[in-house]
Chains A and B, each alone.
Chain A
């Protein structure tokens, strides 16, 4: 059984990420991105990439990275999820980087690892391992493409063979889409030029599958962090908000809902750690763990955000309170990289529980 706890190294990475985010992220930024989508968020990413080396976390030291693994990346995502930070860690440093690593790329990774450039895998943000289709012309909605320097695109090459190709940002058209979650805005990507082949055939397919599997294994950690923020914020509010001459947290109806939410988070944490740990261990159970985590954690984060909103009452509906930015991220995350329903269907195949 994989280790489901956190190591001291991971906890120290967590506190570095948390304090860097506290310094570089002002509380109103997430909401501002809905009014001013062109706000420059690159200083936040530069702080995280430059000071802590997050951009190259999964890249081996020989290619200029940190040589850490999925467990550490999961802890980073927990912290990014707490703050719904508008940074390309998941799309560039996890998903696109995994595609390049699996494809055996050595050309692009050093610049990505150094945080000088970012990359995006060009597939719909709903894609999942084993079920995606090669890109023909235009594709949407793609996450992480806006502002990315490098676009990694699975296309159909000669003879119908899958070809994974690299495009510079100038070679593709990237149009912003007004997104439910503007902290991870989506885009329509239209590919016209030839690009440069990184891998073809089974290697290219394996690279895309590995990238989507890494996303599915680690997105649950972002959902965990987001949900934990929702619970903690709501508990603090329930202790101080007074109605009927009592803190609302002393009403049993409220206490029991928060206790149920706590139970949900205990489970979410176990599922997220298991998915990250089995990926790190290259455990044969990893695809079951990914499907379980994707099926559970997406719904859990949405419920945590919805409960947070309800239990904050009217204040939770306002633009000024950050709960709405978390709800928008939670709902988008639930649909990203395969919905819970689709992952349950995948799981049925993996654990021999056929639909008919």
Chain B
């Protein structure tokens, strides 16, 4: 068992965190197996348990070392990387993982479509084989950061004659090839954090296929499970929306009324308890007991972010009636806490939709955790081309 702290010491000695440029530091961290300690050796990891990553991250955080830009490359770090380790070819793993971790290459996710949101297996974007290549046509939507991305993970339909889950294939797509059009999708906040992506005659070499033809659903499920773990990750006390509110409360006695106080303490307790549940999940992962709690954590996070961000507007009503800026911008990074309280309130509405709606999370808990009977599904066992749409 390699001594983690010794490895971190060696990294810090050979790469002074104060003077080493971020990409170079992160590349060295990857080479030392300290990017994701639970990944295999040679792929940025050491084959340790997932929970031990915090021993590395806490230390690097404490000395102010350069860290991956999670806000800008969340899809790459949280979803593309574990999927690549589980299903990518050795060539793909060598080509993509290191620059992904160093954040010199940014990733986006071409999954959702206008007709396939919660019903993700209903994607209609087609990939048709042509020699060594695939030709892709279709429309994706709700793609965060597509305008900044160098690569995408893509799910496309390669066979319409089989039921929906069986006809999908998973690809890596370079975002600068011909035939990709990215249009900003302006949202409730006024910003265009997300995009529509139109794919017309886009060619992907078969070596960029991840997993077998027709097994795209299995690969995508790995990606999505990692997404939910990432969303439910443990935090410090008073992190997130509740932290904004408690800071305001301590700073500004004008917001203190008995009713507000009762509500504040309710939210404080709820967010603290959810933080503890996230911590409990993390401790379980650390000792190799992955719990089914991650779907529940995402549900809790969405509910609280929405309720607490709404409460923040009521706390200072005159300010709550204002808004920082309605101009249409395409932000570099997704931010849940940036700007004013109005932005936070509106942006939080997405928390119960992105990464699986709260309703789908409840179905997952009910069926997979509690074992309740499945929903009635009229498309089950029917070829995709015969499903009414």
A249-B373 in contact given A4-B276, A263-B296, A263-B365 (Cβ < 8 Å): yes
Query: Is the CB–CB distance between A247 and B373 below 8 Å?
Result: yes
Minimum CB–CB distance for A245 against chain B, Å: 12
Q: Which B residues touch A273, using CB under 8 A? A: 276, 280
* Residue B188 CB within 8 A of the other chain: no
Chain A, range 300-356, C-beta contacts under 8 Å to B = 341, 344-345, 347-348, 351-356
User: Could you tell me the distance between the alpha carbons of A266 and B287 in the complex, rounded to whole angstroms?
Assistant: 18
Q: Which B residues touch A271, using CB under 8 A? A: 273, 276
Query: Is the CB–CB distance between B265 and A255 below 8 Å?
Result: no
* Residue B256 CB within 8 A of the other chain: yes
* Residue B62 CB within 8 A of the other chain: no
A263-B284 in contact given A250-B372, A258-B366, A355-B258 (Cβ < 8 Å): no
* Residue A5 CB within 8 A of the other chain: yes
Minimum CB–CB distance for A339 against chain B, Å: 13
Chain A, residues 1-16, CB within 8 Å of chain B (1/0): the string is 1011100000000000
Chain A, residues 109-150, CB within 8 Å of chain B (1/0): the string is 000000000000000000000000000000000000000000
Query: Is the CB–CB distance between B279 and A259 below 8 Å?
Result: no
Minimum CB–CB distance for B375 against chain A, Å: 7
Query: Is the CB–CB distance between A270 and B270 below 8 Å?
Result: no
* Residue B283 CB within 8 A of the other chain: yes
Determine which of A266, A268, A356 lies in contact with B256 in the assembled complex, contact meaning CB atoms within 8 Å. Answer: A356
Q: Which A residues touch B365, using CB under 8 A? A: 259, 262-263
A344-B266 in contact given A1-B279, A4-B280 (Cβ < 8 Å): yes
Determine which of A5, A235, A255, A266 lies in contact with B293 in the assembled complex, contact meaning CB atoms within 8 Å. Answer: A266
Q: Which B residues touch A41, using CB under 8 A? A: none
Binds A, one of B75-83, B98-106, B356-364: B356-364
* Residue B19 CB within 8 A of the other chain: no
In the complex, how many residues of chain B place their beta carbon closer than 8 angstroms to a beta carbon of chain A? 45
Determine which of B279, B297, B372 lies in contact with A258 in the assembled complex, contact meaning CB atoms within 8 Å. Answer: B372
* Residue B197 CB within 8 A of the other chain: no
User: Could you tell me the distance between the alpha carbons of A354 and B262 in the complex, rounded to whole angstroms?
Assistant: 11
Q: Which range holds the interface residue count of chain A? A: 35 or more
User: Could you tell me the distance between the alpha carbons of A8 and B246 in the complex, rounded to whole angstroms?
Assistant: 39
* Residue B300 CB within 8 A of the other chain: yes
Q: Which residue of B lies closest to A348 (CB)?
A: B265
- For the residues of A in contact with B, the DSSP-based class is helix
Q: Which A residues touch B283, using CB under 8 A? A: 1, 3-5
Q: Which B residues touch A267, using CB under 8 A? A: 270, 273-274, 276-277, 300
Query: Is the CB–CB distance between B261 and A259 below 8 Å?
Result: no
Chain A, residues 239-254, CB within 8 Å of chain B (1/0): the string is 1000000110110101
Determine which of A249, A260, A344 lies in contact with B262 in the assembled complex, contact meaning CB atoms within 8 Å. Answer: A344
User: Could you tell me the distance between the alpha carbons of A269 and B363 in the complex, rounded to whole angstroms?
Assistant: 21
* Residue B250 CB within 8 A of the other chain: yes
Query: Is the CB–CB distance between A353 and B370 below 8 Å?
Result: no
* Residue B268 CB within 8 A of the other chain: yes
Query: Is the CB–CB distance between A270 and B261 below 8 Å?
Result: no
Best-buried of B270, B359, B373, B376 by chain A (most CB within 10 Å): B373
Query: Is the CB–CB distance between B268 and A250 below 8 Å?
Result: no
User: Could you tell me the distance between the alpha carbons of A176 and B376 in the complex, rounded to whole angstroms?
Assistant: 54
* Residue A210 CB within 8 A of the other chain: no
Determine which of B256, B297, B371 lies in contact with A354 in the assembled complex, contact meaning CB atoms within 8 Å. Answer: B256
Query: Is the CB–CB distance between B370 and A235 below 8 Å?
Result: yes
Query: Is the CB–CB distance between A296 and B270 below 8 Å?
Result: yes
Q: Which A residues touch B273, using CB under 8 A? A: 267-268, 270-271, 292, 296
Q: Which residue of B lies closest to A273 (CB)?
A: B280
Q: Which residue of B lies closest to A268 (CB)?
A: B273
User: Could you tell me the distance between the alpha carbons of A274 and B276 in the complex, rounded to whole angstroms?
Assistant: 7
Determine which of A249, A252, A352 lies in contact with B250 in the assembled complex, contact meaning CB atoms within 8 Å. Answer: A352
Best-buried of B253, B261, B359 by chain A (most CB within 10 Å): B261
Q: List 18 A-B contacts (CB under 8 A).
A: A1-B279, A4-B283, A246-B373, A250-B373, A252-B375, A254-B372, A255-B363, A259-B363, A263-B296, A263-B299, A270-B273, A270-B274, A271-B276, A296-B273, A344-B266, A347-B268, A353-B268, A355-B261
The 4 closest A-B pairs by CB, nearest first: A255-B366, A259-B362, A270-B277, A270-B276
Further pairs besides A235-B371, A262-B370, A353-B261: 19, Cβ < 8 Å:
A4-B283, A5-B287, A247-B372, A252-B363, A255-B362, A255-B370, A259-B369, A259-B370, A263-B299, A263-B365, A266-B293, A266-B296, A273-B280, A274-B276, A344-B265, A347-B269, A348-B265, A352-B250, A353-B264
